[in-house]
């Protein structure tokens, strides 16, 4: 079974600009498409896992998010197999509030991926710019890479340290993460 790379979105594929409410706010980090192509060619499945609490906060709707992901899919040449998101927030409104199992660092979206896409965790990797991206891998056989292309790395590293988690690798950006991964 093919291994899967689970990718955070904001700060990993596209620049971290706060809430992305429309396709016009998407700015792909240079080198992203080529890095994904290399992973794809090396036999990895590619799945985006993203917290989108802007929906719970009433900043945008599911249909807006779908438009953002349609644009992302187009700009990344269809290399991503699926985009899974958590729309919730503990203080959310309109049925999106309260605790949910899918908001990172919870592992719920990874389990969704396993059920919906029949992905295997074996040999898999999580790449993200936030501590919570990597913490969702706790207890699962996934390697973790912290990229420095989004949130300030020192603060995220400190959160990881406080949680007793050491990334398998840290990289400047997705391109450097893929260099490491494909080096074996």
Neighbours of 139 (CB within 10 A): 7
Instruction: In whole angstroms, give the CA distance from residue 25 to residue 178.
Output: 25
Q: Tell whether residue 173 is a contact of Mg ion (CB under 5 A).
A: no
Radius of gyration of the chain (CA): 15
What is the DSSP-derived secondary structure letter of residue 29? P
Site membership for Zn ion, residue 143 (CB under 5 A): no
| Residue 39 partner contact from Zn ion, Mg ion, none using kind-dependent CB cut-offs of 5 to 8 Å | none
135 three-state secondary structure = helix
Among 5, 6, 7, 8, binds Mg ion (CB under 5 A): 8
The CB-of-8 to Zn ion minimum distance in angstroms stands at 15
Q: Does 103 bind Zn ion (CB under 5 A)?
A: yes
Give the angle 161-152-147 at the CA atoms, nearest 5°. 75
Task: Out of 69, 88, 132, 148, name the contact with Zn ion by CB under 5 A.
Answer: 88
Asked if 106 and 71 touch (Cβ cutoff 8 Å), the reply is no
Residue 10 falls in the annotated catalytic set: yes
For Zn ion, the binding residues in 37-66 under the rule CB under 5 A are none
What residues are annotated to the active site? 8, 10
Which residue ranges make up the site for Mg ion (CB under 5 A)?
8, 10-11, 129-130, 150
């Amino acid at each position: 079974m093919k291994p899967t790379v689970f990718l955070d979105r904001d700060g990993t594929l596209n620049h971290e600009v706060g809430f992305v409410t429309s396709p016009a706010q998407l700015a792909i980090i240079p080198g992203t498409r080529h890095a994904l192509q290399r992973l794809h060619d090396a036999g990895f499945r590619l799945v985006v896992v993203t917290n989108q609490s802007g929906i719970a906060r009433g900043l945008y709707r599911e249909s807006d998010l779908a438009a953002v992901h349609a644009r992302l899919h187009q700009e990344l040449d269809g290399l991503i197999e699926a985009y899974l998101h958590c729309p919730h927030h503990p203080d959310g409104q309109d049925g999106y509030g309260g605790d949910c199992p899918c908001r990172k660092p919870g592992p719920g979206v990874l389990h969704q991926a396993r059920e919906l896409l029949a992905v295997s965790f074996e040999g898999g990797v999580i790449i993200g710019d936030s501590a919570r991206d990597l913490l969702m891998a706790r207890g699962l056989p996934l390697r973790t890479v912290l990229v420095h292309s989004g949130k300030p790395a020192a603060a995220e590293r400190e959160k990881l340290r406080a949680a007793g988690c050491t990334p398998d690798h840290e990289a400047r950006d997705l391109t450097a993460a893929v260099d490491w991964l494909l080096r074996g």
